Chain A
Amino acid sequence: MAKMNMIAALNSALEHQLERDENVVIFGEDVGYFGGVFRVTAGLQNKFGAHRVFDSPLAEGGIAAIAMGMGLNGLRPVAEIQFADYIFPAYDQIVNEIAKLRHRSGGEFSSPVTFRTPAGGGIKGGHHHSQSPEAQFTHTPGLKVVYCSNPYNAKGLLTSAIESNDPVIFFEPKRCYRGPFYGDPHKVPTWNSHPDGEVPEEYYSIPLEEARVVMEGDNCTVISWGAMVHVAEQAIKDSGISCDLIDLQTLVPWDRDTVVNSIKKTGRCVIVHEAPKTSGFGAEMSASIQERCFYHLEAPIIRVTGWDTPFPHTTEWDYLPSPKRIAEAIRKTQEE
């Protein structure tokens, strides 16, 4: 075990993959010599060579396209999209091409690309360095969508994403790169004292499809992913109500059994995500949960999300779900 922040844990996962599989190549904007604007690929070019870890021209559409071509010709590309907000020039290549290749070719071709991309708010990034566009990919058959939340699961999930023979969009909550985020912008804790900052140096993986039960309780099920897992944890403590907290980890395919079993126990559910509410992945979960748990529900499912507005710069703390809003929602589920 070693103390690692999320950046070091992701770097460790990439290093193991480069060592274990000579077909793994890593590229993107600034990822080579410099090691990435968030330092996730630091040192890897030096260790494995510029043919395996390299800087690409600044064109997300081109990055995605060459990733698809490399992937269908036997490589296992890991492409970094520097900010999730910048993924949209690559959207056609990801959604129409990479996601559909296996199906449209009758299984003759496939391209096991992993797109790593820092997402979410909390760094004063304004509209174009803060968005969390997971729902724009969960709506695309053929893609797996993963959202890590801490160093331990970041390493294990990224390992599985790269090893998956399906294309994966891997979201990294950039606010949590160096420490968990409990919703108070004035406190900047590190991973140093957090149990999930204890990360094995050796290789391991966490299966895609499995949610993580962060804490167990009796009266409400709180579901979240990414940075909001920690905000939800704070909110549960603030509310004083005994809750299950589920970190979904993989959104497609999501771990419905863990969610349904929890709600059958608690009868109440709050879903928290920082992306806008309308057509967010919380809507999909809420619909699926009521299909399965209608007669177990004691109260309406409540979503606590970012607003249906562009992400703001100076007022981001009023945009992101706060411990206060989440705690109020948890309390509200107890009133019925």
Chain B
Amino acid sequence: MSDRKTAVTTPYTIGTAPFRPGEEADFGGKFKEQPGDLNRPDPTKCSADDTIKHASGLVRVLTDDGEAKGDWIPDISAEQLIQGLEYMMRLRIFDDRMMKMQRTGKLSFYMRSFGEEAVAIAQTMALEDNDWIFPSYRQPGAQFVRGRDMVSMICHCIGNTEDNVRGRQMPVHYTWKEGRFISISSPVGTQFSQAVGVAMASAYKGLDEACITWLGDGTSAQGDYHYALNFASTFKPPVILNVVNNQWAISTHQNLATGGRTFAERGLAYDIPSIRVDGNDFLALYSVTRWARERASAGLGPTHIEVYTYRAGAHSSSDDPSAYRPDDEFLCWPGGDPVDRLKQYLIKSGNWDEKNHAKLEKKIDDEVMTAYKEACEFGDLASGPYPPASTIFTEVYETVPWHVQEQREELGK
């Protein structure tokens, strides 16, 4: 099952996006797959063969009417779901604030998680606190789940004196060891195979820890993706390998990233249980990730997940999607808005209301603004101060070797 719509030319096939600027986007309204379609295999016994339908189908929990249905309804309390909603709202408000700061030059660059807020947040909530998180640049939301202070996150993005990576990395390339949130790298996909090694080390030490990692549909063309699947298949460490299929790799639609079949199905050939899940369905994402975590604890090793979602925003602050897709395409995405869907579920189940929602939104907005102001007191990219120039030379090696020391002295700072 593929969304592939191709323009066939000779002598080879060139994929194309389903809709281009000026065309009317229409994904057919709703997903044809429904909650309840797919069973939940026993995670402690499941083989790749037991997930053949899950890899080509779509695991959903929330119905089109905003109710929970089927085997995959997770064991999660309303309080936890409200917490998840709060994290997603926080991420969206945080992103909007940072984007505004980017436009004023207070940071050089930014990447929003708009439309994909559920991905890192639901998935991290489904893990244990000692699990390792090896993100790409679109999973900063995991840090909210682990309790990172927003001031510290903003200080990184604006590269000021309190940036914990000392102004060395572009914005959104967070590192946070305390939260087991491993340093983000720009070359896409490198973390995927590294995460397999992280999980192997946990297994070597005999610890009940898993490592979760993500990359995009476009990045799944990289060798690192295939190394990861093959090494994970070979050594079976507790790793959760997510392909976030958000349809777009900058301007490259997923139709151009692969020749057919779902991304999830690739995992079956590596004998890794593989599941395709609605990435805008908080409950389904939580449930599938929890299932993968139970497999890890049971010593069954890796799980491969295709998180089916839509990149509602631009790739980054440097990108203009109106040049390659209809501006309103995200409005007709069958998965809808992950924040709104969880909100409606909570309202419908009698655990939430518009008044509480508006109140929470205002509270977060105030907190983000307060954090922003506090972070700016330590400087920003537009006006400084920056970390001292001496930090160019430190932590290149464990101790500064003579040739680096001489160069530091040459700079005179």
Q: Give residues in A with beta carbon < 8 Å to B.
A: 25, 51, 56-57, 59, 61-62, 65-75, 77, 89, 92-93, 96-97, 101-110, 141-142, 144, 164-166, 209, 252-253, 256
Judge whether B255 is part of the interface by a CB distance below 8 angstroms.
Answer: no
Are the C-beta atoms of B205 and A101 separated by less than 8 Å? no
Beta-carbon contacts under 8 Å, B167-222 to A = 168-169, 173, 175-177, 182-183, 185, 187, 190, 192-202, 204-205, 211
Minimum distance in angstroms from A74 CB to a CB of chain B: 6
Are the C-beta atoms of A75 and B204 separated by less than 8 Å? yes
Are the C-beta atoms of A65 and B193 separated by less than 8 Å? yes
Number of interface residues of B (CB under 8 A): 47
Are the C-beta atoms of A105 and B183 separated by less than 8 Å? yes
Q: Which residues of B are found within 8 Å of A62, using beta-carbon distances?
A: 193, 196, 224, 227-228, 230-231
Are the C-beta atoms of B227 and A59 separated by less than 8 Å? yes
Q: Which residues of A are found within 8 Å of B396, using beta-carbon distances?
A: 102-103, 141-142
Question: 11 A-B contacts, Cβ less than 8 Å apart?
Answer: A62-B230, A65-B231, A69-B201, A69-B211, A72-B194, A96-B187, A102-B398, A103-B168, A108-B175, A108-B176, A109-B182
Q: Which of A66, A70, A109 contacts B177 (CB 8 A)?
A: A109
Minimum distance in angstroms from B246 CB to a CB of chain A: 23
Are the C-beta atoms of A74 and B227 separated by less than 8 Å? no
- Which chain A residue has the least Cβ–Cβ distance from B205? A74
Taking A73-B202, A141-B396, A256-B402 as known contacts, 12 extra A-B pairs with beta carbons closer than 8 A to each other, sorted by chain A number, are A59-B230, A62-B193, A62-B231, A65-B192, A69-B200, A74-B205, A93-B193, A102-B396, A105-B175, A105-B177, A108-B177, A256-B403
- Please measure, in the bound complex, the distance between the C-alpha atom of A108 and the C-alpha atom of B402, giving whole angstroms: 23
Q: Give residues in B with beta carbon < 8 Å to A.
A: 132, 134, 163-166, 168-169, 173, 175-177, 182-183, 185, 187, 190, 192-202, 204-205, 211, 223-224, 227-228, 230-231, 234, 394-398, 401-404
Q: Which residues of A are found within 8 Å of B397, using beta-carbon distances?
A: 102, 142, 144, 166
Q: Which of A59, A69, A164, A256 contacts B195 (CB 8 A)?
A: A69
Are the C-beta atoms of A66 and B197 separated by less than 8 Å? yes
Q: Which residues of A are found within 8 Å of B165, using beta-carbon distances?
A: 104-106, 108
- Please measure, in the bound complex, the distance between the C-alpha atom of A166 and the C-alpha atom of B163, giving whole angstroms: 23
Are the C-beta atoms of A96 and B185 separated by less than 8 Å? yes
What does DSSP make chain A's interface, helix, strand, loop or mixed?
mixed
Are the C-beta atoms of A69 and B395 separated by less than 8 Å? no
- Please measure, in the bound complex, the distance between the C-alpha atom of A13 and the C-alpha atom of B230, giving whole angstroms: 31
Q: Which residues of B are found within 8 Å of A166, using beta-carbon distances?
A: 397-398
- Please measure, in the bound complex, the distance between the C-alpha atom of A252 and the C-alpha atom of B397, giving whole angstroms: 11
Are the C-beta atoms of A97 and B197 separated by less than 8 Å? no
Are the C-beta atoms of B183 and A57 separated by less than 8 Å? no
Q: Which residues of A are found within 8 Å of B230, using beta-carbon distances?
A: 57, 59, 62
Are the C-beta atoms of B198 and A73 separated by less than 8 Å? yes
Q: Which residues of A are found within 8 Å of B231, using beta-carbon distances?
A: 56-57, 59, 62, 65-66
- Please measure, in the bound complex, the distance between the C-alpha atom of A166 and the C-alpha atom of B401, giving whole angstroms: 12
- Which chain B residue has the least Cβ–Cβ distance from A65? B193
Q: Which residues of B are found within 8 Å of A68, using beta-carbon distances?
A: 194, 197
Q: Which of A70, A106, A164 contacts B166 (CB 8 A)?
A: A106
Minimum distance in angstroms from B207 CB to a CB of chain A: 10
